[in-house]
Amino acid sequence: MTGVATDLASVQTTERGDLRAVGIIHGSLAMALSPLIDAYDHVLLDLDGCVWVADGLTSGAREALGALRSAGKSLCFITNDALLTCEEYVRKLWSLGLQASLEEVVTVGAAIQFFLAQRAARASAFVIGAPAIVRHVVDSGQRVVNGTAEAARAEVVVVAAHEGFDFAQLRTATRAVLGGAEMIAAGLDATYPAAGGPWPGTGALVAALQTATERTARNVGKPDRQIFQAALDRLGPGRTLMVGDRLDSDLGGAAAAGLDGAIVLTGVTSREQAQAAEDPRPVAIAETLHALVTA
């Protein structure tokens, strides 16, 4: 990975030769890509805090993605948000004016489904999570036992943040894990960006369960290498850059997968935190995705 981070907010390009003009966006001349972005063939993009916050796009995100596509860059969206299915994320992207296909979306829910599907035998599963996660667990071939007498004796406990989380779920999951259930986490992010400020993420729920059981969860979301590998398998050969707003999951996961990582400041990471990061160190720090992508 590049040894010294580039602060794109302070970089000015004065020679036309450093830029590459790209296509037409929304009927006007497109913005040129930054020299940094132009050096990569593929771009992995986090969603929450990078492309959008809640239901609103980050400043210039639509134009940034348009510039990437016009320049022929391959894209893949990779997220630890477990509230929606891949299909629902594609619909949300289109609803916000961003083109996307199912092949371009990799979610932690899909990663959990793949992980569970590799089990030698079908297992009973207690799921803390939104309906999207329950569907992924069912589609993996496991038997969901929520709401039954078997819940506290489940063989697998899956944990993902959702608004319906309560003490009863924590109690049942604790009993199952203490009884020998494998604990699987949909990421370890303590918070995620939301309108008005951060909300507790899956990592907060996992921490509660780990404290109660003195057991360690198996994380299958970012920064686990496998979720990044799933995205890379779809992109093919070439240089790939990961862009996200978190040092731990986005930058750490990129490093685990052998990728360069860039940080945008529209999510949970401050400029001071990004500049102080050492291992791994971001190849670039930018105020927004738009500032990172365009010259």
Catalytic residues: 46, 48
Give the integer Cα–Cα distance in Å for 183 and 143. Answer: 15
99, amino acid identity: Q
* Helix, strand or coil, per DSSP, at residue 94: helix
Give the integer Cα–Cα distance in Å for 55 and 61. Answer: 13
Contact present, 163 and 156 (Cβ < 8 Å): no
Of 240, 220, 182, 184, give the one whose Cα is nearest residue 45.
Answer: 240
Give the integer Cα–Cα distance in Å for 194 and 55. Answer: 9
* 176-196 b/e (C-beta count within 10 Å ≥ 16 → b): bbeeebbbbbbbbbbbbbeee
Cβ-count burial of 41 within 10 angstroms (0-12 exposed, 13-18 middle, 19+ buried)? Answer: middle
Contact present, 221 and 24 (Cβ < 8 Å): no
71, amino acid identity: A
Instruction: Assess whether the previous peptide bond of 35 is cis (omega < 30° from 0).
Output: no
